[in-house]
Amino acid sequence: MEQTDPFVLVSKRKYNQKERPVVRVDGETYGTLTKLAAKSGLSLAEIVGQAVSYAVDHLVWVEEE
């Protein structure tokens, strides 16, 4: 099985979720998502959900220095 690099997040501060969930992305990321949606037939929400699940499954936390 091919080994993949971990998804690394640096822990900096507390996150406070707002009442209504809204996710904003830059133009390049949106373009990538729309290309994936066109090729796969999946919605942007489904693609983002799968990508986030994959990232969480491969997540490694590191403390900020």
23-58: pLDDT as tens digits:
899 999 999 999 999 999 988 888 899 999 999 999
Please give the model's pTM, rounded to 2 decimal places: 0.67
Residue of 56, 54, 37 whose CA lies nearest to 45: 37
CB 48 within 8 A of CB 23: yes
pLDDT reported for residue 1? 59
* pLDDT for residue 4: 82
- What pLDDT sits at residue 21? 75
Which residue has better confidence, 15 or 65?
A: 65
Residues 36, 33: Cα–Cα separation, whole Å: 5
